[in-house]
Amino acid sequence: MAAAPRIQFTVTNVDYKRKDPVFWIEVQTNITKYKQKQKRFPRYYSELVKLYDFLSSTCDDVLIPALPPCPSPRFDKEGQLVGRQWWFTIRLPGEKPVIVGDTGSVENKIQLWFDRIVEHDRTKMSEGLRAFVESEVGFRPSIVPQQHSQQRIKPPKYIIVHVSPDDMEPEFGHCLQDLDTFSQNLHHASSRLDKLVQEQHSMARSWINMSSSWVSYGGIERNPNLFILYKTIAKGHQQLADLERSQASAVSETLSDEISYELKNCESTQNAMQRRLDALSDYLSSRKHTESSLRSVERLKSSISIDRDQASEAIAILEDARIHERNNLQRFERIDTNLRQDIEQQYKPNTTQDMLRTIKEYAKSQLYLEKKKLAVLNEIMIKQDDVLIN
């Protein structure tokens, strides 16, 4: 028994030193049309954008997940790339390093996008995906015609039947309403997070101002113990400001980034639903054309004098209309069935999984950094107690 077609992409490393970062990708496959079953090759992020556009334009019955934005790398003082969960590497002065395990790759969203593309039964066999892998001069797909226009050519005097969401079955309307509500909630959450980030930056500035005040007090203090205490407090407030800014960055790089991505994904799903509407419109229009052609033939039959050439032309038009109607019906049924399946089995569970994972990541970042702030405040209290005792 032949093995099922399989292809796997692995992002091995990324060159972020370029304006258009280069992703080194390793691919393994058993699909027969691939010349090499294992290969490692570079692709610019802009080529990933081209791949997404190509798949979206050629796979009309597939819900292509939105391409994540290009990762923004973060480097430490030594210039080394820091993991996605960089907050676990923050150490207070004198604090011993703690092993926290894998902090995650910066490009994990890109890796996840590749995983979902190649796991899909219809995209894994795409010629565009094969060209993306096998091209030796970078991925340069041929110009894609306007979306599926080759499948939507209208014959002369074609009657266009426009279909709106109100004309669809209630299930379709509920799905559109759910997407619209989800999008509105995401926009609302994004606004709330923007305010939270602004508040955290404002708090950081407050800590900085307090630190400056303590430095000023220390400058006029003659008691050596109080001088040391003021210096400790000023240093602690500076650390609190740094931690506050880190918390703001963590919010932006977890929840805010994920919400922005899910908004793009929601838009991609809404576009897929529009393709379903367009396919139904094409089918109903072609059916209308068939009915019109049939009436023309019936009128010729009832005519007193029938022109042979005119009759042959009318019959040929009717046959073409029936073929066109049948093709459009098959296309609509294919798009309808496959998009329903993609929304229920991929979009909904993947979105839930991504949001839950991001919320957990956000919570862990804030808890970890709050513990750091408590440690700083505790250090100040210990120093204050030492001064009072002495």
pLDDT tens readout for residues 281-328: 999 899 999 988 888 888 887 776 777 777 888 888 899 999 999 999
Q: Are 339 and 328 in contact (CB under 8 A)?
A: no
Higher-pLDDT residue of 145 and 53 is 53
CA dist 184 and 168 (Å) reads 23
Residue 146 clears pLDDT 50, i.e. is over it: no
**Does the pLDDT of residue 156 top 70, yes or no?**
no
Percent of all residues in the chain with a pLDDT value above 70, rounded to a whole number: 92
Q: Does the domain formed by 1-71+106-153 have CATH 3.20.20.70?
A: no
CA atoms within 13 A on the CB side of 189: 19
Q: Residue 152: name the closest of 291, 273, 284, 314 by CA.
A: 284
Number of neighbours of residue 11 by Cβ within 10 angstroms: 18
Higher pLDDT, 1 or 384: 384
pLDDT of 162 > 90? The answer is: no
Quick check: 279 and 325 in contact, CB under 8 A? no
The burial class, CB within 10 Å (0-12 / 13-18 / 19+), for 54 is buried
Q: How confident is the model at residue 164 (pLDDT cuts 50, 70, 90)?
A: confident
Does 4 score more than 50 pLDDT? yes
- Picking from 102-106, 244-248, 268-272, which range would have the lowest pLDDT averaged per residue? 102-106
What average pLDDT score do residues 246-275 get? Answer: 94
**Arch. (CATH architecture) of 154-170+197-389:** Up-down Bundle (1.20)
Task: Give me the chain's average pLDDT, please.
Answer: 88
3-class DSSP assignment, residue 9: strand
- pTM for the full predicted model: 0.87
Instruction: Kindly give the residue spans of alpha helices, DSSP state H, lying in the chain.
Output: 45-58, 108-119, 127-134, 170-220, 224-251, 257-301, 308-342, 348-389
- Map out the domains of the chain as residue ranges: 1-71+106-153, 154-170+197-389
User: Measured at the alpha carbon of residue 10, what is the angle toward residues 6 and 16, in degrees to the nearest 5?
Assistant: 155
Helix (H, G, I), strand (E, B) or coil at 11: strand
What is the pLDDT, as a whole number, of residue 173? 79
Mean pLDDT within 21-36: 94
Which strand ranges, in their side-by-side order, compose the sheet holding 22-29?
Answer: 7-15, 22-29, 38-44
Calculate mean pLDDT across residues 145-153: 45
pLDDT reported for residue 6: 93
SS3 label, residue 8: strand
Residue 107: burial class (beta carbons within 10 Å; 0-12, 13-18, 19+): buried
Distance CA 98, CA 92 (A): 12
Per-residue pLDDT, averaged over 182-196, amounts to 95
* pLDDT score recorded for residue 195: 96
Between 21 and 223, the more confident residue is 21
Whole-number Å distance between alpha carbons of 13 and 26 = 10
Q: Residue 2: its pLDDT value, please? A: 66
Which residue's entry shows tokens 């209309």? 321
Tens of pLDDT along 329-355? 999 999 999 999 999 999 999 999 999
Residues 93-137 have pLDDT tens digits of 878 776 666 788 899 999 999 999 999 999 999 999 999 999 988
What whole-number percentage of the chain has pLDDT above 90? 59
As a whole number of angstroms, the longest Cα–Cα distance in the chain is: 123
> So what's the pLDDT on residue 370?
96
Q: What are phi and psi of 40, to 5 degrees?
A: -125, 130
Q: Give the model's pLDDT for residue 377.
A: 94
Q: Is 282 exposed, middle or buried (0-12, 13-18, 19+ CB in 10 A)?
A: buried
